[in-house]
Amino acid sequence: MALLEVSNLDVRFALRQGEVRALRDVSFTLDRGERLGIVGESGAGKSVAAFTLLNLIAKPGYIADGSIRFEGNDLARMSARELRRVRGNRISMIFQDPMMTLNPVLSIGEQMVESLKAHRRISTREARAIALHKLKQVYIPSPETRLDQYPHELSGGMRQRIIIAIALLLDPDIIVADEPTTALDVTIQAEIMTLLRELCEKHNVGLVLITHDLGVVSQMTQRTLVMYAGRVIEQGPTREIINDAQHPYTQGLLNALPQMTTPGSRLNQIPGSMPSLANTPSGCAFHPRCQYRYDASGQPRRDCLEEVPEFVTSGNCDVACHMVRDMLAKEAS
Amino acid sequence: MNAVAAQASPVTTSQNHAEAESLLEIRGMYKHFPLADGFLEQLHFEKGRLVRRNEQVHAINGVDLTVRRGEALCVVGESGCGKSTVARLVMGLLSPSAGEIRYDGQRIDNMRGKRLLPYRQRMQMIFQNPYASLNPRMTIQQTLEEPLRFHHPDWTTPQVQDKVDDVMASVGIDPEWGKRFGHEFSGGQRQRIAIARALAVDPEFIVADEPISALDVSIQAQVLNLLMDAQAERHLTYLFITHDLAVVEHFGTRVAVMYLGTVCELADTRSLFARPKHPYTQALLSAIPRLEDDRPEHVRLSGEVPTPVHLPSGCVFHGRCPHAMERCRQEVPQLIVTDDGNQVACHAVEEGRI
Amino acid sequence: MTTTTATTPSRWKRFRNSYLVYSFKRDWIAQFCLAIFLCILLGAVCAPWLAPMNPYDLTQINILNSELPPIWVDGADALFPLGTDAQGRDLLSTILYGARVSLIIGFGAVMLQALIGVTVGLLAGYLGGRIDAFLMRLADIQLSFSTLMVAIIVGALIKAVFGGAVYSDYAVWLLVLIIGLAEWPQYARTVRASVLAERSKEYVDAARVMGYRDRRVMFRHILPNTLSPIFVISTVQIANAIISEAALSFLGLGMPETQPSLGSLIKSGFDYLQSGSWWITLIPGAVLVVLVLVVNLLGDWLRDVMNPRLYKG
């Protein structure tokens, strides 16, 4: 059994314009020590997915359907008390903005000791020793002095290291990282990512990495989930998705990268933009932007327009696309 | 002030050959921002005495750049390196502490008011955040019309309308959008509108300050294509500020790499990406997340970018540089021209150590 | 200011679909407050037609009718539903006329405050530097004078130069001037703060890059974007101005008794409170409290609507 098993997750937000479906029928699994990337552009629902994993969706959002099974227990139906035992302890989260996690009026040491003591029966001295050990693991220079410093005294990269140290504090099974390096510079991003990857490998920690950057996904993860308008549209081994994407959107996303065309020539753009979740197109949500939405005679395909595509398996990937389904059927026959 | 300006780098002479085609020249530019604004905030209590200390952020420390007509000069660097300050200085949104800016031979950094007006038409700017660069209380039509009515007071309403329609079509905006407000559009659409506003006055030179970094990947490609099309159609010259090296490789004619307010390497794009010389450029290039390799070996830099308040002595990069020696800690490296005609400011390169 | 040139055909429709209207429809307190405020406003505006008698007209006043209680108390006269004051004026009419004076002073003073405050705030916030420092210190100095002191000084000056008769003739406008002058720094500070926030946004840079002159950038680009806080603070300031007027009149520095405002009405009844004629003070007092409360509650609602950040916190 997988460590984390998300099935048919449906998250909605009750807004004044009506109900907005942020996640639709999202399913995936994560094994112990596996690194999974969730890729998508803004509005794809990837951050909602991250928050939902810890059942952190707050009003007006709610989990309408589906389950999040962690070691067989459904987080979507746990009491607040049971959830507290999981959050931070077994599954921890790294946010985009370090200051979302760090309390500006407490020193780094106080914050680390506090969360240790909240989950374990240990003395302050023991907790401090563990905190120090974790700071050393993330290669923070002069960790002893850092313990007594306040978040604002540290640089952005240093803060994000401390966030990683805090995420590792209770030896979790899974780390959920929501765009952990978006606010940082490239050189710092590269360091933090390498660090995160090494730590996950060394301690056999599962990682769910939410990002918009396909380059980061390709370097960090073993499996990738591509999201569009609240749905998963393609998932499979990262290498396969990067090298041989099946879904037209994933292909478009990869081809749009500047490194995919010779310098100076026009980039391969996807026309249009991501639909708002309140106003998702019928059928396949990508169809208005998809170049394959016409059939051989140049007519718009009815299935793309009307039916939500089911997953079909192509190689090791699952793809939700009518065009891919037809191609596979043709190959088989 | 004069003393500072006199330090202008020795490169100036070697660049003379380029001067014929140069459109914009920045010479010996410095920009400091006071850290504490008011008199009271400058007072500090030290060793039992009240001292007035006027600390400054050294955003730009002696930058020389030439933008040649028709090229896209990219300025790259990490946050705090002063690249956006360069853009704002060029556009006159800030005035330099020292140095001069010449546009088409004319000094523009000390111009004010009416005299500057013709240059406001010739030079335009595109901003980073499409969510803030459109006035929320103005319709798209008003946004595009205002610059035209301002710069061409003699135009009739149909003339203005023709131009608005024209520029809307050239950036791919539906004319129907005119009646709507900025907040009704997505980031990519807003950036198109902002580009339309800049193009409305028919500029020849555009400063683009991180124009695509706030956008999604698929939209980035659209906007970048739009900028390249506009360049081809209108023979534009770009000063393109970005932190994204993949974009630079695709878009730039030449690249200036900045670190802590100084240019550390200036080269044409192809040779910079093929053979980066400055250790910082090397680290920067190796840090780009590539699709191909799943276990990258990037150059590890120790430490982080120092604050521009207390600049390091000597080479600003020496604290993080794997090749730093005693000379780097003491002497500020000047831009030197290498055999391939590019420029690099590094003692190690000059001495042939790397 | 420049006029809006482009056609905006569906302004009313946009307004109807706006968040403002939406949240108003869902907030019964706001609806209730607006209803009461409109009632008082209507009563005040239409006082000459609604009021049973004209308290300014001495021929209609009979001293024999003085200190009659309201109709729900024994010994009342049905002609005077809320009773009469010490001079025999019908209290209902006097309150309607008084509310009129109070509201004129409230709105007038706020307009003057807004005019001075917005201009100062805009200049200080946009130009910055020494001008900013000078204007804001000026505002600080102004704030350190209480409204009362300004009233005493201006009132004494006017009375000394032009005499008491002129003072009571122009009392309404003098109070507008006094309260307007005393409380403009509130506006200046609010506007300056939001101008500072707006000035750092890129659309202002874009306008400057276009070569627009400072005046155009300030009034056409920045000012329209600071309207929400101006709107919010205006409601609070109207309530404050009405209270200031009442306080000044109560202390005898405001409206003369012959042209009663709510404040001077309260004051005129205060002497009779001990003798049992409580209604002369308490009824206008209640009207004043309700008026100010309603305006403040509307202001709170408006602030919640227009500042969503506050909403979450």
Rounded Cα distance, A71 and A88, in Å: 16
Confidence of residue B294 (pLDDT cuts 50, 70, 90): low
Any idea what DSSP says for residue B129?
Answer: -
**CB distance B83 to B265 below 8 Å:** no
The verdict on a CB contact (< 8 Å) between B116 and C209 is no
Mean pLDDT across B15-25: 66
Evaluate if residue C222 carries a pLDDT over 90: yes
Per-residue pLDDT, C313: 27
- Closest-CA residue in chain B for A289? B218
Contact B120 C210 (CB under 8 A): yes
Q: Residue B38 has what pLDDT?
A: 65
pLDDT tens, A230-289?
A: 999 999 999 999 999 999 999 999 999 888 888 888 888 888 888 888 888 999 999 999
Tens of pLDDT, residues B37-56:
666 667 777 777 777 777 78
> Residue B272 is encoded by which pair of tokens?
């910079």
Per the CB < 8 Å rule, is C6 touching B120?
no
Query: Does a structural domain hold residue C134?
Result: yes
Residue B49: predicted pLDDT: 79
The domain spans of chain A are: 243-332
User: Between the CA of residue A243 and those of A28, A170, B291, C253, what are the distances in Å?
Assistant: 21, 37, 9, 84
Least confident of A310-324, B84-98, B165-179, C86-100: C86-100
**DSSP label at residue B112:** -
- Chain A residues lying within 8 Å of B295, measured CB to CB: 219
Collect all residues of chain A within an 8 Å Cβ-Cβ radius of residue B189. Answer: 273
The verdict on residue C221 lying in a domain is yes
Sign of CA dihedral B162, B164, B170, B174: negative
For chain A, the average pLDDT equals 89
Query: How far lies A49's CA from each of A23, A38, A62, in Å?
Result: 7, 9, 12
Q: Which residues of chain B lie closer than 8 angstroms to A269, CB-CB?
A: 218, 221-222, 225
Residues A254, A241: Cα–Cα separation, whole Å: 10
**From B93, B113, B179, residue closest to C205, measured CB to CB:** B93
Which burial class, exposed, middle or buried, applies to A325 when counting CB atoms under 10 A from its CB (0-12, 13-18, 19+)?
Answer: middle
Contact B91, B209 (CB under 8 A): no
The pLDDT value recorded for residue A172 is 92
> Is the Cβ pair B147, C224 closer than 8 Å?
no
Q: In what order do the strands lie in the sheet with B336-337?
A: B123-126, B205-209, B237-242, B72-76, B254-259, B262-268, B343-344, B336-337
Q: How many residues does chain A have?
A: 333
Residue in chain A nearest B306 by alpha carbon? A155
Residues of C in contact with B38 (CB under 8 A): 133
Give C267→chain B minimum CA distance, Å.
Answer: 47
Domain covering B2-351: architecture:
3-Layer(aba) Sandwich (3.40)
Record the pTM. Answer: 0.84
Least-confidence region, from A297-306, B297-306, C41-50:
B297-306
Measure the CA–CA gap between C270 and C252, rounded to whole angstroms.
12
CATH number, position C268 = 1.10.3720.10
pLDDT in tens, C159-191: 888 877 777 778 888 889 888 888 899 899 999
| Residue type for position B7 | Q
Terminal Cα distance for chain C, rounded: 36
A257/B189 touch (CB, cutoff 8 Å), yes or no = no
How many domains, chain C? 1
ipTM of the complex: 0.84
Range of the domain at C281: 27-70+77-312
Cα separation, A313 vs A328, in Å, equals 9
Collect all residues of chain A within an 8 Å Cβ-Cβ radius of residue B300: 191
Q: Which residues of C touch B (CB under 8 A)?
A: 4-9, 133, 201-203, 205-213, 216, 221, 224-225
Q: Are A141 and A192 in contact (CB under 8 A)?
A: no
Write down the domain spans for chain B: 2-351
> Is some CB atom of chain B closer than 8 A to the CB atom of A241?
no
